[in-house]
Amino acid sequence: MIFPDKPYVSLETPDERMMATRDPRRFLARFPAGCILDEVQRAPDLFSYLQEIIDAHSEPGRFILTGSQQFGMMEKITQTLAGRIGILTLLPFSVSELNEGTYLSGDLNQVLWQGSYPPVFDRKIDPILWYDSYITTYVERDVRQMLNVKDIQLFQRFLGLCAGNIGQLFNASRISNDCGINHGTVSHWLSVLEASYVAFRLQPHHRNYRKRIVKTPKLYFWDTGLVIRLLGIENASQLRTHPLRGPIFENWVITELMKGRFNRGRRSNLFFWRNNTGLEVDVVAEQAGRLMPIEIKSGATLSTDWFATINKWLSLAGNEAINPTLIYGGAIPWGDGPVRVIPWSDISTIADAV
């Protein structure tokens, strides 16, 4: 839709992929004005030949390269196309995109349960069926390709353990013990989850304010629908009383903030802050040397107790703090006080500003 005049070629098609790998010059000669190459990671040797064409023709946007996984692709890009390419990370739908398409439910539990992957909405596929298929194809294809995992059930157990630890400090030793694999395997498997945009680690902020701070990252997934399916939750109603509903909502808020950054072509500026006494701010956004604290609460009824942590942090941060914000699971915004309160449905107003 964005480039309607460009020819589209999917390298998932065996014939196209064979031509691209066996005779790349002839393959690219078919598109003198450029084209869209989808699933380009399937033919990474094309990048060297693309470099020649791009160097000979200076106009930008001649080729649009897209792919659903980045195993090995980014290394090839940085080797051959450095300085010649712009990179956009496209995550599942954001709240503003779902609103624009009139897909956003007014029920927070339904929003969390459905997740944000496009096929659930534009093809109206049952979330359970789609996520089960996604997990199977991801494990069977991508993981087998990269890790040569012989025990698929063991890797699926690892996925489930990671889902059960969202919002917590990442403890590789505990997951290693629970899963029955060594520490190095945990680190390697997690790096694959990160490279395939299944999970990510949110890093702690370094500012200590004369107190010792935690230096261990937290684990999150890029989509709550996937987390919920890995946890075995069958419908949105079961989520209401689930013990991990709070971390799942926190996960959802953080990924929405990430989407706001990535959709504007910017890198993440998000961290969390926690000291050794347990004082913690869920998100700290760096903005030109100043820090925007964001607290996340899944409850629907505003409580004055929710402001205690952020107020303590504000007393430590002093003039470095800007725009303290609390995002909660309710429906009413509140602006009377030093901390602005944003309902979950208005999160795009924050995501576009962090």
pLDDT tens digit sequence for 216-238: 999 999 999 999 999 999 999 99
| C-beta separation of 273 from 205 below 8 A | yes
Q: Number of helices (H) and strands (E) in the chain: give both, helices first.
A: 17, 10
Residue 70's pLDDT band, with cuts at 50, 70 and 90, is low
In a domain, 256, yes or no: yes
What's residue 290's pLDDT? Answer: 94
What mean pLDDT is predicted for residues 183-200? 89
- Measured distance CA(160)–CA(167) in Å, rounded: 14
Residue 315 has pLDDT above 90, yes or no: yes
- Measured distance CA(152)–CA(169) in Å, rounded: 26
Q: Are 208 and 298 part of one and the same domain?
A: yes
Which one of 80, 107, 127 terminates a domain?
Answer: 80
Q: Are 63 and 182 part of one and the same domain?
A: no
Residue 98's pLDDT band, with cuts at 50, 70 and 90, is very high
43: containing domain: 8-80
Q: Are 194 and 122 part of one and the same domain?
A: yes
What mean pLDDT is predicted for residues 321-338? 92
CA atoms within 13 A on the CB side of 219: 23
DSSP state of 296: E
Provide the token pair at 109.
């539990």
In a domain, 347, yes or no: yes
Q: Are 122 and 74 part of one and the same domain?
A: no
Q: How many domains does the chain have?
A: 2
In a domain, 141, yes or no: yes
Please state, rounded to an integer, the average pLDDT across all residues of the chain: 91
Q: Are 226 and 101 part of one and the same domain?
A: yes
What mean pLDDT is predicted for residues 112-122? 95
Percentage of the chain beyond pLDDT 70 is 97
CA 95 vs. chain centroid, Å, equals: 14
- Measured distance CA(281)–CA(278) in Å, rounded: 10
Which one of 80, 114, 140 terminates a domain?
Answer: 80
Q: What are phi and psi of 197, to 5 degrees?
A: 55, 40
Residue 166 has pLDDT above 90, yes or no: yes
In a domain, 318, yes or no: yes
Residue 9's pLDDT band, with cuts at 50, 70 and 90, is very high
Q: Are 53 and 141 part of one and the same domain?
A: no
Residue 169 has pLDDT above 90, yes or no: yes
Q: Are 238 and 281 part of one and the same domain?
A: yes
Q: Are 44 and 148 part of one and the same domain?
A: no
Residue 174's pLDDT band, with cuts at 50, 70 and 90, is very high
Q: Which residue has the higher pLDDT, 271 or 51?
A: 271
Q: Are 110 and 63 part of one and the same domain?
A: no
Q: Are 195 and 337 part of one and the same domain?
A: yes
Residue 212 has pLDDT above 90, yes or no: no
Provide the token pair at 318.
């002093």
What's residue 177's pLDDT? Answer: 93
In a domain, 262, yes or no: yes
In a domain, 125, yes or no: yes
Q: Are 238 and 320 part of one and the same domain?
A: yes
Buried b (16+ CB within 10 A) or exposed e, 177-213: eebebeeebbeebbebbebbbbbbbbebbeeeeeeee
What mean pLDDT is predicted for residues 203-214? 83
DSSP state of 94: P
What mean pLDDT is predicted for residues 40-55? 88
- Burial zone of 15 (CB within 10 Å; 0-12 exposed, 13-18 middle, 19+ buried): exposed
Residue 79 has pLDDT above 80, yes or no: no
Residue 69 has pLDDT above 70, yes or no: no
What's residue 72's pLDDT? Answer: 60
Residue 71's pLDDT band, with cuts at 50, 70 and 90, is low
In a domain, 259, yes or no: yes
Q: Are 260 and 191 part of one and the same domain?
A: yes
In a domain, 150, yes or no: yes
| C-beta separation of 95 from 103 below 8 A | no
What's residue 6's pLDDT? Answer: 96
Which one of 30, 56, 80 terminates a domain?
Answer: 80
- Measured distance CA(223)–CA(200) in Å, rounded: 11
